[in-house]
Structure 1
Amino acid sequence: MAQVEAEVVVPVEPALAFAVSQTTGEARYRWDPFVREQHFLDGSTRPAKGVRTSTRSRHGLGMVSEYVSFVPPSHVGMRMTSGPWFFAVFAGSWRFTPTADGGTRAVWRYVFRCRPGWLAPLAERIGTRVLGRDIERRIAGFARGCSDPVVLAAARQALDRPADRPGQEPPHRDG
């Protein structure tokens, strides 16, 4: 399988960095140059293991993916369940580790296999270049988001919400 990876150190703690990476709506579009449109499927309103999302990229390609792991504030993983015909497999993981100075090291990785098999060696070399540029732009946007007051406010708001399971209403808080 082909793989691309990018990393950055951001000046926010892992919980906040993780929350920035999971922002939705306008906050997400402010920092993420890859995503043109994204929404949860199956009635879910928050990311969690098993939750599916529909994403349309800036390239105009659509993909449905499923969270295969969701462990705030350390890592998240997703796999494509349907998407562009030329991907036989596509998956991504984002890892967040604390740095000695209170920041976070973020490492993002995509793995993929192209089809048809006879074209895969060439397609994967091209895909590595294209996705390599995309992941670099995306992680640079994430770094900018980690210093954007609007994005940080949305991420902090998400951190303040009570944990819940996909498809369930969050617990009621007395006020």
Structure 2
Amino acid sequence: MPVIESSLVVPVPPATAFAVSQTTGATRMRWDPFIRRQHLMDGAIVPGKGVRTLTVHRLGFRMVSEYVSYNPPTNVGMKMLTGSWFFERLGGGWRFGPVEGDPNSTLAVWRYNFACKPAWLAPLAERIGSVILQRDIDRRIAGFARGCSDPIVLAAITQPTDPL
């Protein structure tokens, strides 16, 4: 199963980096180039383990995912429950850790793992998917870094009134 990873250092403490990663609505749209729309499902108003999320990718692909871990301010993990026809499995995890010697910086590491279907096409599809997803995750974490420096995003995490 292919694993795709991207990491960078952002100029905020881990708790702030984690909070930015969990923004929703208009705040999320300021930094996340991956999504066109995203919201929590089943009446949930805050993310947490077991909470489901509907995400619509910028190209229109829809996915329902579920938080399998939620441990502020260090990590979050999700798995796809339903999604595009070509993914057999898709999961992701984001980790946030302090940068040694700099309590106001965070090493953010984002990782995806996936398997494609149908089985006969998976070897080729997973090679192509690795290239596409690597480009996507690199753009997404770069957007996250911009969000960690955006005064509007940072203000929103201190005043959680952003509509889902």
**Who wins on radius of gyration, i.e. which is larger?**
1
Contact 1:78–1:92 (CA under 8 A) maintained in structure 2: yes
2-structure distance, mates of 1:153, 1:49 = 25
1:152 to 148, 151, 154: 154
- The offset of 1:157, in angstroms, is 2.4
User: Percentage identity across aligned positions?
Assistant: 64
Equivalence for 2:143: 141
Equivalence for 1:53: 53
Q: Give the secondary structure class of the aligned counterpart of 1:30.
A: helix
- The offset of 1:3, in angstroms, is 1.1
TM-score, scaled relative to structure 2: 0.95
Aligned length: 158
Runs of 4+ with deviation above 2 angstroms: none
Q: Structure 1 regions of 5+ residues with no counterpart?
A: 159-175
1-structure distance, mates of 2:132, 2:158 = 32
TM-score, scaled relative to structure 1: 0.89
Equivalence for 2:82: 82
- The offset of 1:118, in angstroms, is 0.7
State how 1:59-138 maps to structure 2 within 5 Å.
59-99=59-99, 100-102=101-103, 103-138=105-140
- The offset of 1:154, in angstroms, is 1.1
2-structure distance, mates of 1:7, 1:156 = 25
Q: Structure 2 regions of 5+ residues with no counterpart?
A: none
Q: CA RMSD of the aligned region, Å?
A: 0.6
